[in-house]
Chains A and B, each alone.
Chain A
Amino acid sequence: MNAFKLSWKNITHRPWRSGLAILLMASGLSIVIILILTQGQIDEKFEKNLSDIDLVVGAKGSPLQLVLSSVYHIDNPTGNIKEKQTTLLKRHPFIEKSIPICLGDNYKSFRIVGSTHEYLELYDAKVKDGNLWEKPMEIVVGANVFEKFPGKLKVGSCIAGGHGIGGEALEEHNHSHDDAPYKVVGVLESTGTVIDNLLICEYTSSWIVHAGHGGGASLDLKMELDPPTPDSTMVDSNSVDSIPAEPIEEVIEEHNHDVHNHDEHNHDDHGHDHGHHHHHAIECGTMNTDSILATIPEDKKEITAVLVKYKNQRGQLTIPNMINSNSSMMAANPSIERDRMLKLVDSGIQTANLMGIFVLVISAISVFIALFSSLKDRGYEIALTRVLGARRPKVFLMIVGEGLILSVLGYILALIISHVGMWIVSGILESNYHYSFNAWDFSIFEVYLFGVALIIGLISALIPATKAYLTDISTTLSK
């Protein structure tokens, strides 16, 4: 029966009191761990996803919203701009890259982004399987999206986009472009960036999708009648004539979305019992995209935003100003917007951090109380161990040992709580925003935190241990 074992037995002998101390310690530590991990991963994600983008140009509105929607794919777009407005960006001598972004459709809540190959180059995305698209209506699939729908997004599959952008796809009204299916031509390798959660195609695809049926025309008409206000979200994401997204099999088979049979629409019931549906799905990849594109008038060619990379420093000085004052478009600096947002996030994290520290202080007190009060009952035991030959330092170490054991157990529990907690939160974030944390990433701070836990255990054990050290055997035994 060595001192450590005795400390351990004394802890397990008082399971409730020890358990409370451990639980409090674990709560405090896990709050801090979760915050550290979250902050680290948020910062990293926002940094990575920004890539080399110097400027985002889009419809006027909130610059933060523009950046969030077009770079991070979180928020709704601010609206659309005409492609012809952006031609000056393509030709400008200070601009190295201008990459169009077209948003507005989704595949089962994952965003379909229309862009160019350059967009993939921004994130060093490599094709794992298949190829990049060669023409409109061919699509490549991000790694996470591919995994989310096993077997459904293989190269060669046909998929139909739903109308509306990703985050809102779970809402009831979602419009399916089942008559203009995409053909999956490639699957991307995981990049750890936002690309993993996207499906990407040539930006002209969305014009074809919307021109291919009556819905597109009405959509454009609506936009003209009702131009986007600065803060309006994507005009059509909640449009009344959209219908819920349906699983692809049903969509293709039912195929009831046609401008001519709008009256037959059953908005309430999309079950399998639609006996009267036509089966005339267009085979994907067979569409003559060039001829469709040729029919689209210039002012119907709209995009959501342009991601700009400057050629040199002078771009920074002239281009944002040029766009903001001389055009109906808006230029937003993504680094500034990101910092603005991280600042908001950080102040929240700071507050939560204070809370964590507060809980840690409480836990230190609870370890102290657990030891101190148990020592009160154990005064005689301490004297007894001295009588049996234990010297003062040994008695001191035994109590300190109890404090340390409590804090180590608290730390282990905290690791479990925080990482499982992260895993749960990550799942929620994933389903709501397609933004996920890696719950099993460990930070070096967790190692430091182990030190903190030990110090807490040590400090809170110090007074009880000193008390045990100073126990007067004779008086205690005479009581």
Chain B
Amino acid sequence: MIKVDNISFAYKGSDAMSFPSFALEQGEHALVLGQSGCGKTSLLHLMAGLIKPNEGSVVIDGTNVSKISGSEMDRFRGGNIGIIFQKPHFVKAIRVLENVMLAQNLGGKKKNKAKAISILTKLGLEHKINARVNNLSEGEKQRVSIARALVNSPKLILADEPTSALDDENCKAVLNLLKEVSKESNSTLLIVTHDNRLKDQFDKKIELS
């Protein structure tokens, strides 16, 4: 479903980083492990099409995201990839539910309030749907960002250090949620982390050095 083939990338004025090749099937869950600064986030951005590799290719569901244009990529990403960031960010001017539904709108999907609410409910946030995002706890924010990533039932879910800011209990809860909901929508789940607490939870691991 996703195939990462021999990619390398260089930030301006830095040495090129090269990444191992790997492939994941639809619905498969995997972990990308590595210490800080080894290019985990860069790999995630490459897979999400936020940056283009200098060499090699990333193919998602038959689309070579390394080749398509910027605006095609934006559209493709909006519709097919759900991304969860290390630090959950929101559009602060709008409420929790609106933030989740914003993903539907910008991802080119039909407005579906019921679906947004049901996902938030599943994540235990039904009483927070009209809350301001600034008034949420860290754990709640992370759950909202998961809801936002999942609301379009993406084929691929990319999570960048989703648990690093959370305590053990929340870490476990968030991880279970991620696994559970991606299983339900048969999404491919790829978590990029240096969090050793997650190590034993996944069979498939890609180590960066």
Binding site for B on A (CB under 8 A): 1-2, 6, 9-10, 12-14, 380-381, 384-394, 473-474, 477-478
Q: How far is the CA of A14 from the CA of B93 in the complex (A)?
A: 8
Also in contact, A391 and B74, with CB within 8 A (given A1-B94, A9-B94, A381-B92)? yes
| 0/1 interface trace, chain B 86-101, chain A, CB 8 Å (1 if under) | 0001111110001001
Measured between alpha carbons, how far is A91 from B29 in the docked complex, in Å? 113
Are B71 and A392 closer than 8 Å at their CB atoms?
A: yes
B115: Cβ under 8 A from any A Cβ: no
The reply to whether A381 and B91 contact each other, CB–CB distance below 8 Å, is yes
Docked Cα-Cα span, A385 to B93, in Å, equals 13
Task: Give chain B residues whose Cβ lies under 8 Å from the Cβ of A393.
Answer: 71
In the complex, which of the residues B51, B74, B91, B105 contacts A392, with contact meaning CB atoms closer than 8 Å? B74
Contact B94 A474 (CB under 8 A): no
Query: Given that A1-B105, A385-B102 are known contacts, is A390 also in contact with B78, CB under 8 Å in the complex?
Result: yes
Asked whether A478 and B71 contact (CB < 8 A) given A385-B91, A387-B77, the answer is no
Whole-angstrom CA separation of A385 from B45 in the bound complex: 15
A71–B102 alpha-carbon span in the complex (Å): 68
Interchain CA distance A478-B103 in the complex, whole Å = 20
User: What's the Cα separation between A380 and B85 when bound, in Å?
Assistant: 12
Contact B107 A10 (CB under 8 A): no
In the complex, A474 Cα to B50 Cα: how many Å?
Answer: 6
Tell me the dominant secondary structure on chain B's binding face: helix
Q: Shortest beta-carbon distance, B145 to chain A, in Å?
A: 10
Interface mask (B140-174 → A, CB under 8 Å = 1, otherwise 0): 00000000100000000000000000000000000
Contact B78 A473 (CB under 8 A): no
Interfacial chain B residues near A12, Cβ < 8 Å? 93
Q: Can you add 4 more A-B contacts, CB < 8 Å, to A13-B92, A392-B71? A: A387-B83, A389-B79, A389-B107, A477-B50
- Secondary structure call for the A interface: helix
Q: 27 interchain pairs (CB within 8 A)?
A: A1-B101, A1-B102, A2-B105, A6-B94, A9-B91, A10-B91, A10-B93, A13-B93, A381-B90, A384-B90, A385-B91, A385-B106, A387-B48, A387-B77, A388-B102, A388-B107, A389-B79, A389-B106, A389-B107, A391-B70, A391-B71, A392-B70, A392-B71, A394-B106, A474-B45, A474-B50, A477-B85
Known interface pairs A384-B89, A386-B74, A389-B75. Does A478 touch B41 (Cβ–Cβ under 8 Å)?
Answer: yes
The 8 residue pairs across chains A and B that have the minimum distance between CB atoms: A389-B78, A13-B93, A388-B106, A389-B106, A9-B93, A389-B107, A474-B50, A391-B71
B77 close to A389 (CB less than 8 A): yes
Per the bound structure, the CA–CA distance linking A52 and B106 in Å amounts to: 68
- State the B residues within 8 Å of A (CB): 41, 45, 48, 50-51, 70-71, 74-75, 77-79, 83, 85, 89-94, 98, 101-103, 105-108, 148
Chain A contacts for B75, CB-based, 8 A? 389, 391
CA distance A434 to B108 in the complex (A): 64
Give A381 to B94 CA distance when docked, in angstroms. Answer: 11
A6–B103 Cα distance when bound, in Å, is: 12
Residues of B within 8 A of A392 (CB): 70-71, 74
With a CB–CB cut-off of 8 A, which chain B residues contact A9?
A: 91, 93-94, 98
Please, how many angstroms separate the alpha-carbon atoms of A12 and B41 in the complex? Answer: 34
- Which residues of the partner chain A approach B89 to less than 8 Å between Cβ atoms? 380-381, 384
Query: Is A390 a contact partner of B74 (Cβ separation < 8 A)?
Result: yes
A1-B101, A1-B105, A389-B77 known; A474+B51 contact, CB < 8 A: yes
Query: How far, in whole Å, are A12 and B108 apart by their CA atoms in the complex?
Result: 25
Known A1-B105, A381-B89: A388·B78 in contact at CB below 8 Å: yes
CA distance A1 to B98 in the complex (A): 7
Nearest CB on A from B110, distance (A)? 13
Q: Are B74 and A389 in contact (CB under 8 A)?
A: yes
Residues of the B chain whose Cβ atoms lie less than 8 Å from the Cβ of A389: 74-75, 77-79, 103, 106-108
Query: For residue B48, which residues in chain A have a CB less than 8 angstroms away from its CB?
Result: 387
Distance of A428 Cα from B44 Cα, bound (Å): 70
Most buried by A among B77, B78, B91, B102: B91
What is the bound-complex CA distance between A3 and B78, given in angstroms? 15
Q: Tell me, in angstroms, the Cα distance from A186 to B30 when the chains sit together.
A: 99
- From A6, A10, A474, B102 is in contact (CB under 8 Å) with A6
Q: Which residues of A are found within 8 Å of B74, using beta-carbon distances?
A: 386, 389-392
Closest chain B CB from A75 CB (angstroms): 58
Least CB distance from B200 to A in Å reads: 28
Nearest A residue (CB) for B109: A389
Q: B71 to chain A: which residues have CB within 8 Å?
A: 391-393
Complex contacts, B148 vs chain A, CB 8 Å: 388
Give min CB distance, A410 to chain B, whole Å: 20
